[in-house]
């Protein structure tokens, strides 16, 4: 029996941002030749690895602030930096972030216990499987399960930001599916400032989301990507696939205004 297709929050958000970008990323092989490394992804990967080690009880190598700072160097990902100066500056910021994080975790423990780290959860939606990779799930003293997502580039975050975040809502659905008898909430932690925003889906919202995801997932999986024509948008100037889309005769970038913003 053929395996069911999978959709993840990042696939779905890619599609919502631009269906052609979804095509080049997940459907059409030609896209992979145009993918570039980006320093912000490398930076985020490094921080995730260090925090994963800190919370992993099987890894005793990152228990203190000093060990966390060393771990930034040990887990550093070089790709995407434009110069060694840019990379050194980022490494300094990364060390500050993890030092602050570990210090706070040691001095002000939340009282919860870490239940899952970097864990992939699945949920059969019928025509496809919804997948999500959760940075961390804590079990709080009152029994609530809190999924925590680290954002390495963000400085501020509000509860409303979390409530409207598709990925955070998908993670809640996945947790609800695997732990149906437990209250669930989702939080985003802005690592640069340690600001945290949280939200929780009601039963009605969770059921509505599941229905919306099912409809959207079917649209994504049934689109005719071969015939798809790229439609220019504000994202295009920063998009890796711009050279590919430019090959389409009808494709035209929006006009750049003098202040650098885009005009449709
Ligand atoms: S260049 Fe523009 S239209 Fe093409 S994939 Fe990127 S965002 Fe979409």
Same domain flag for 81 and 151: no
* Cβ neighbours around 94 below 10 Å, total: 22
Residue 208 pLDDT > 90: yes
Same domain for 186 and 144:
yes
- Tell which residue, 121, 170, 115, has the closest CA to residue 143: 115
103 and 45 in a common domain: yes
* Alpha carbon of 243 to ligand 1 centroid (Å): 9
Report yes or no on 159 lying in a domain. Answer: yes
Ligand 1 atom with minimal separation from the 18 CA = 8
Q: Mark whether 128 and 55 lie in a shared domain.
A: no
- Contact 241 CB / ligand 1 (< 6 Å): yes
Tally DSSP H helices, then E strands, for the chain: 9, 8
Q: Two tokens at 167?
A: 């990925």
Average pLDDT across the chain, whole number: 93
CB atoms within 10 A of CB 229: 10
User: Does residue 219 lie within any of the structural domains?
Assistant: no
Task: Give residue 120 CA to ligand 1 midpoint distance, Å.
Answer: 29
Residue 180 lies in a domain: yes
Residue 64: DSSP 8-state: S
Q: What are phi and psi of 133, to 5 degrees?
A: -105, 115
Q: Is residue 87 part of a domain?
A: yes
DSSP 31: G
3-state secondary structure of 58: coil
Q: Are 254 and 232 in contact (CB under 8 A)?
A: yes
Whether the CA torsion 160, 166, 171, 175 is positive or negative: it is: positive
> Does any domain span residue 147?
yes
Residue 128 inside a domain? The answer is: yes
CA distance 213 to 6: 12
Is 61 within a domain?
yes
Q: Are residues 130 and 157 in the same domain?
A: yes
What's phi and psi for 117, nearest 5 deg?
Answer: -130, 135
CATH number of the domain within which 135 lies: 3.90.320.10
Task: Say yes or no: CB of residue 106 within 6 Å of ligand 1.
Answer: no
Please identify which residue in the block is written with the tokens 């059969």. Answer: 124
Distance 230 CA to ligand 1 centre (A): 6
* Domain, as residue range, for 126: 113-202
For residue range 212-253, list pLDDT tens digits in order: 999 999 999 999 999 999 999 999 999 999 999 999 988 887
Q: What is the pLDDT of residues 93-121, one digit of tens each?
A: 999 999 999 999 988 877 889 999 999 99
- Tally of domains in the chain: 2
Q: Give the mean pLDDT of 132-136.
A: 96
Which of 186, 202, 218 corresponds to the end of one domain?
202
Say whether both 156 and 197 belong to one domain.
yes
Per the domain annotation, does 121 fall within a domain? yes
pLDDT-based confidence at residue 146 (cuts at 50, 70, 90): very high
pLDDT digits (tens, 9 = 90+) for 184-205: 999 999 999 999 999 999 999 9
């Amino acid at each position: 029996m053929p395996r069911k297709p999978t959709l993840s929050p990042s696939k779905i958000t890619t599609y919502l941002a631009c269906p052609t970008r979804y095509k080049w990323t997940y459907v059409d092989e030609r896209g992979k030749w145009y993918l570039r490394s980006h320093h912000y992804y490398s930076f985020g990967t490094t921080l995730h690895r260090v925090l994963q080690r800190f919370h992993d009880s099987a890894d005793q190598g990152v228990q203190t602030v000093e060990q966390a700072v060393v771990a930034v160097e040990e887990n550093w990902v070089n790709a995407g930096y434009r110069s060694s100066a840019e990379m050194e500056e980022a490494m300094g910021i990364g060390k500050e972030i993890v030092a602050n994080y570990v210090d706070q975790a040691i001095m002000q423990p939340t009282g919860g216990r870490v239940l899952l780290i970097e864990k992939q959860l699945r949920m059969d939606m019928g025509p496809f499987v919804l997948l999500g990779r959760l940075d961390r799930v804590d079990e709080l003293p009152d029994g609530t399960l809190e999924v925590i997502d680290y954002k390495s580039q963000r400085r501020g975050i509000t509860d409303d930001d979390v409530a409207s975040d598709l990925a955070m809502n998908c993670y809640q659905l996945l947790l609800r599916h695997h732990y149906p008898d437990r209250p669930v909430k989702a939080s985003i932690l802005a690592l640069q400032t340690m600001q945290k925003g949280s939200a929780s889906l009601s039963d009605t919202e969770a059921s509505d989301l599941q229905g919306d995801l099912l409809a959207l997932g079917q649209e994504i999986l049934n689109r005719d990507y071969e015939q798809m024509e790229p439609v220019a948008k504000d994202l295009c100037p920063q998009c890796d696939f711009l050279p590919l889309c430019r090959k389409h005769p009808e494709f035209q970038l929006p006009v750049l205004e003098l202040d650098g913003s885009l005009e449709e």
